[in-house]
Structure 1
Amino acid sequence: MKTITYKNYIAYIEPDIEDGILVGRVVNTRDIIGFHGETISEAIESFHAVIEEYLEDCKKRGLTPNKPYSGRF
């Protein structure tokens, strides 16, 4: 499992052997945010795109995006 970060959102990427793709999920927010790609580059691009879409969607709806958890108290 590989960890990547974008705009303080942290995601894990792991292979899905059955489907032959890489799947990821954002782990430091309450919202469920997932993504995938056929290559590492595609999965990272998909992660960046899904975060941008999430932030834009929140803005359009007048909602405050769930801030990423920092792991600090």
Structure 2
Amino acid sequence: MNLMRYLGFDGTAEIDLDRGTCFGKLLFIDDLVTYEASDPRALKAEFHAAVDDYLETCRQLGRPPKKPHSGLFNVRTTPEKHRDLLLCAAERGISLNAVVNEAIAQFLSAKCSDGIPTPSCTVAVNLVDTFVPSTDPRNFVTVSPSGDTVTPTLFIEAFGGRQKEAPANPH
């Protein structure tokens, strides 16, 4: 699925091969707003028209268009990962919330190609559980912003969880 953005609104862009159409819907709103077209260029125009129409409808109804994001959500994990995160937070003298926010920020800012971090980002991946068996929950893969430090010699490929050998010299 591809995403489009217009006037701060996000929408999907999908293809139905059986029907020979492109379609999508607006994301993160309280209403269901969909759009459809015969080709990708037309879908983009329909997406823009759907956003414009949605904004006008909300204005006429006197209500805010976007669904507010509270910043609160539940994360389900294993008891072992929960414990490991609490230990990490305690060792660093910070809250569990701060540890999770750091991990989210790092994930969102990482720019990786083929699972190998670029020299402009820092990535730390906990090598426990299903990805890589480890008896030490504090065993991390770390790449410094300059790309100099790699320990140990494994990377976890983004979004796939597959192991890759780290290069001897990341440059």
Q: Same fold (TM over 0.5)?
A: yes
1:54 aligns to what?
A: 54
Q: Percent identity?
A: 25
2:19 aligns to what?
A: 19
Query: Map of 1:1-73 to 2, 5 A cutoff?
Result: 1-67=1-67, 69=69, 73=71
DSSP-derived class of the 1:48 partner: helix
Give the TM-score of the pair, scaled to structure 1: 0.82
Q: Is the Cα contact below 8 Å between 1:22 and 1:38 reproduced in 2?
A: yes
For 1:53, the aligned partner's letter is: D
Higher normalized contact order (CA 8 Å, seq sep 6+, divided by chain length): 1
Query: Going by fraction, where is strand more abundant, 1 or 2?
Result: 1
Give the TM-score of the pair, scaled to structure 2: 0.38
For 1:51, the aligned partner's letter is: V
Number of residue equivalences: 71
Q: Is the Cα contact below 8 Å between 1:9 and 1:68 reproduced in 2?
A: no
Gaps of 5+ in 1: none
